[in-house]
Amino acid sequence: VTFAALQADIPELDLTALLAGLGMKPPERIIKSEPRYLAVLGKVLRERPIEQIRDYLKVKLINRFKPYLGSRFEAVIADQQKILVGVDKLPPREERVQNELKMFLGHPVSRLYVERFFDDETRAKSADMVGRVKDAFLARIETRDWLTDATRAAAKDKLEKLTFEVGYPQTWIDMSKVEVRPDDLIGNIQRLIAFDVKRSLDKFDAPVEHESFANVQATLPIIVNAAYDPSINGFEVPAAILQPPAFEVELDAPVYFCRLGAVLGHEMTHGFDSRGRQYDALGNLRDWWTPEDTAAFTREAEKLVEQANAYEVLPGLTLNGALTVTENMADVGGITLAYAALKDYLAENPEENVEIDGFSPAQRCFLAWAQFWGMKSTDGVIRSVFMSDEHAPGMYRSVAALKHVDDFYTAFDITEGDPEWLAPEKRVRAW
């Protein structure tokens, strides 16, 4: 919308003055991501006494900075945690400090981590793994009979153009000019927040440049994760995940293929699911599927919804299949592609295609996947996360995706009537 139209939606606020306080001039146009918000905010500003609004802002400010206000606030924080997640014991102080370092000094801390604990051999072998999983995906696209010819060609083009980065960025964010004082914790945090806000604002009206490994929730090199970004058709694999139990240079191939390789396949699959399909090979917002492709994919996804809805996480609490379907689809794609890549690897390296401790490569692969999702959690945390997390709990993910892989049944001689059996017509074949 135009800036003038946005201002008309919220006459109670002077948006020009608000932007001026941030050092910005009003843009000609602006993305209105949540149309309902301004109307509700305007109603609050009109109808609530200014004293209440001031008190609310004070509470928000105190709540934001309460972790840094000393031990007298710890009881308040513990009480809040007890209500929200059923745990009233705070993590150790060292762990809380580490979390704050990650949040506010992500790149400097990550750089130290990479210099001390990450090596070129790990990076190179991980990059090779990405290429192998990508090749397995290209081969898989050719065999998906639910795709129309045009969409198949577009899918191959998108996958071929997919980019990835492993470990850490080529250029680190320089935070050396931020003033940090040993006796001013709150001030330090405020200055770091201001630095981050200014960096974001400086990007306005400038050419779009992707900033690698900068998402403090998902892609900092010190975070155990990997993440796909549809707007760039690429994904990042942080250094921290490239260690046991996910990966180790000398680890048994079936183990790291079906842990790290499955994570990579999971992220690639996100580029070709109900969300990823809305972005083309160049990251532009454009749906490149035909209605026939969409209908066929939806039918496959419904199998996952049905499967999840039948799973009881806790007594009387079943999974929300509609909420978790995208991540569950990526899990199926991830382990399927990882195992396909493993078979290609073992064909090239037959000396590694051997039993170890009585387990075949296929068995070690699927066991490694299941072990990877081991978790320890309280019922309260599970219930709290359950309502909003698109990821199913590890207890479900450890086996659910395997039931859609035909080789899983062969590896463990699973037949109809066994607990892990899923009828062939209920198995997902999308990717």
Q: What is the pLDDT of residues 237-262, one digit of tens each?
A: 999 999 999 998 888 999 999 999 99
* CA dist 6 → 23, 34, 48, 413 (Å): 19, 12, 22, 62
- The β-bridge relationship of strands 163-167 and 234-238 is parallel
Looking at residue 206, its pLDDT comes to 82
pTM above 0.75, yes or no: yes
Residue 130 or 385, more confident: 130
Instruction: Indicate whether 75 pLDDT > 90.
Output: no
Instruction: Indicate whether 85 pLDDT > 80.
Output: no
Q: What tens digit of pLDDT does each residue of 280-337 get? A: 999 999 999 999 999 999 999 999 999 999 999 999 889 999 999 999 999 999 999 9
Q: What is the mean pLDDT of the chain?
A: 93
Looking at residue 211, its pLDDT comes to 86
Instruction: Indicate whether 62 pLDDT > 90.
Output: no
The 3-state DSSP class for residue 76 equals: helix
Looking at residue 191, its pLDDT comes to 96
Q: What tens digit of pLDDT does each residue of 268-291 get? A: 999 999 999 999 999 999 999 999
Looking at residue 93, its pLDDT comes to 86
Torsion of CA 276, 278, 284, 289, to 10 degrees: 110
Instruction: Indicate whether 87 pLDDT > 80.
Output: no
Dist. CA 268–CA 272, nearest whole Å? 8
Q: What percent of the chain has pLDDT over 70?
A: 100
User: What are the sequence ranges of the domains in the chain?
Assistant: 119-167+244-426
Looking at residue 381, its pLDDT comes to 82
Q: Which amino acid is at 29?
A: R
Q: What tokens appear for 354 in the block? A: 């051997």
402 close to 335: Cβ distance less than 8 angstroms = yes
Looking at residue 226, its pLDDT comes to 93
407 close to 339: Cβ distance less than 8 angstroms = yes
Q: Give 357's contacts (C-beta < 8 A, 6+ positions apart).
A: none
So what's the architecture of 119-167+244-426 in CATH? 3-Layer(aba) Sandwich (3.40)
User: Is omega for the bond preceding 315 within 30 degrees of 0, making it cis?
Assistant: no
**For 31, what's the count of Cα atoms within 13 Å in the CB-facing half-sphere?**
2
Instruction: Indicate whether 207 pLDDT > 90.
Output: no
Dist. CA 408–CA 421, nearest whole Å? 10
78 close to 91: Cβ distance less than 8 angstroms = no
Q: What tokens appear for 175 in the block? A: 């935070």
